[in-house]
Structure formats: C-alpha cells, structure tokens
C-alpha cells in the first residue's frame, strides 16, 4: 500500500506543507465540484476512510470535508496524473460542495467579459455554518 503514495509528487510548497492538487468531480455527472490541496497525511486519511480529507493551506491543518456541515464527499474512484502532482477523485457529494451553498464551487461563468452566476444554490450558508 505504501507504494501508492510514492507515485504522488507533493511538490507544491504552501501553508507550511508539501502538497499536491486534489480535484473532486461528481462521479455520476462529471461536474467538477472543487479543487483544494492534500499533503501526504490528508491523502492517506482519504484513502483509508473513503471520504475526502484536504490540507487547508490557510489554517495549516488537515480538514475532513463535511465535518462541520455534514457535506461529506464519499470517494468512488481515484486517479493520478502523469507527473503525479494532481489527484482526481470521483466522489458522491452529500448536499453541496461549496461553503457558499452551491453544488459546485465553479458557479461563476465568463459571459461577454463578465462573471455570471450560473450555479445551483442548494442551501443558505447561514442555515449551515
């Protein structure tokens, strides 16, 4: 099992840690939900528990997604890219991925030189946090 971690290149130095890029994608629809970072420990916890754990580069600690909100991400598939510095997780998202209440964090789309809000709002942040 140890060898799977050797393939990951935690080459990005941020928030006091060596991290790789972690992308969460809806396993059923292919919608990209969010992008964050993982250090080795966060990746290990994710593989072991089957739910997404990230490394917060601002709070400088491991963060179990959904711990506070209940909006956990259950891992269905894990892929790694050619140079090993990005990991793609196909997940089953409970409720919504974004802390602003949208299903995906990518709820703004460029349209004629402006960012337009196009995402589906699933919950009101004030009801959850």
Q: Which of 78, 94, 95, 122 binds a second copy (CB under 8 A)?
A: 78
In this chain, which stretch among 48-56, 62-70, 99-107 interacts with a second copy, using CB under 8 A? 99-107
Closest alpha carbon to 94 in 114, 118, 64: 64
Query: Does residue number 34 form part of the binding site for a second copy (CB under 8 A)?
Result: yes
Contact 89, 24 (CB under 8 A): yes
Q: Is residue 117 at the binding interface for a second copy, with CB under 8 A as the rule?
A: no
Cβ of residue 119: shortest distance to a second copy, in angstroms?
A: 9
Cα(47)–Cα(51) distance, integer angstroms: 8
Contacts of 51 (CB under 8 A, 6+ apart): 64, 65, 66, 72, 73, 74, 75
User: Interface residues with a second copy (CB under 8 A)?
Assistant: 1, 3-4, 7, 12, 14, 21, 23, 25, 29-32, 34-35, 47, 77-83, 86, 88, 98-100, 102, 105-110, 113-115, 118
């Amino acid at each position: 099992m140890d060898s799977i971690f050797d393939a990951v290149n935690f080459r990005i130095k941020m928030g006091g840690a060596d991290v790789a890029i972690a992308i969460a994608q809806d396993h059923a629809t292919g919608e990209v939900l969010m992008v964050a970072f993982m250090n080795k420990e966060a990746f290990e916890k994710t593989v072991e528990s089957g739910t997404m754990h990230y490394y917060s580069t601002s709070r400088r600690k491991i963060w179990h997604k959904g711990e506070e909100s209940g909006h956990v991400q259950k891992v269905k598939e894990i892929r790694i890219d050619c140079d090993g510095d990005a990991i793609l997780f196909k997940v089953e998202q409970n409720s919504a991925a974004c802390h602003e209440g949208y299903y995906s964090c990518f709820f703004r789309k460029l349209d004629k030189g402006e960012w337009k809000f196009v995402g589906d709002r699933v919950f009101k942040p004030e009801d959850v946090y």
